[in-house]
Copies of this chain bind each other. A is one copy, B any other.
C-alpha cells in the first residue's frame, strides 16, 4: 500500500466517524461511508474486510489516542481529594467524549450486535471504573478499592457516559460549563462521602 492508499484508508475512517456521530453505527451503511468520503462503494473493500473491521481499526487508533492523552493530562498524579480535582476528571471525560464522539457511539453500538465489541466496550468501561474507584478509595482513606467504591465509581461512569450520549449531540457552542458543573457536583458528593449519615 502506497502513501496515497494509507491516506485513503484514513479518509474512510474519518468519514465513517462523521457519519456515525450523525446517525449512529448500526444505521450507517458501507455506501454512506464511501459517499461521505466522496468515493465509490467498491474501494471500501480494498482497505477493510467489512464495517466491523473498520471499527476495529478505529478502536485501535482510539486506544492509542486515549493513552497519549491520559498520560500527558493526568500524568501529574492529582489525588481526587477535593472538588477542583474531580472537576478536572469530569472535564477530561467531557472533552474526550466531544472529541471522540464517533468512536464512543461506534464502539457502544457495535457492542450491541457483536460479542467481540461487547467485550471491548466492557473493558473500556472497567478501566474507567477502576481509575475512579482507586482515586475514591484513596480519598476515603481505604487502602484498596473496596466493593462500595467500585459500585459508586460504576454508577458515576454510567452517569457520565449516558449524560454525554444524550447531551453532547444537542450541544450549542459554549454550553459546556454548566453541564460540567452539574456532573462535578454529583460526582464530588458521591466520592467525598462514604455514607450520608455523617454530615
Chain B positions within 8 Å of A161 at CB level:
158, 162
Does chain B have a CB within 8 A of A179?
A: yes
Specify the main secondary structure of chain A where it touches its partner: helix
Q: Is the CB of B190 within 8 A of A185?
A: yes
Give 30 CB contacts A-B under 8 Å.
Answer: A24-B113, A26-B26, A26-B112, A27-B112, A27-B113, A83-B196, A109-B112, A112-B112, A147-B178, A148-B178, A148-B182, A151-B179, A152-B186, A154-B167, A155-B163, A155-B186, A158-B159, A158-B161, A158-B163, A159-B159, A161-B162, A162-B162, A185-B190, A185-B195, A185-B196, A186-B186, A186-B189, A188-B196, A189-B189, A189-B193
Number of copies: 2
Say which size band chain A's interface belongs to. 35 or more
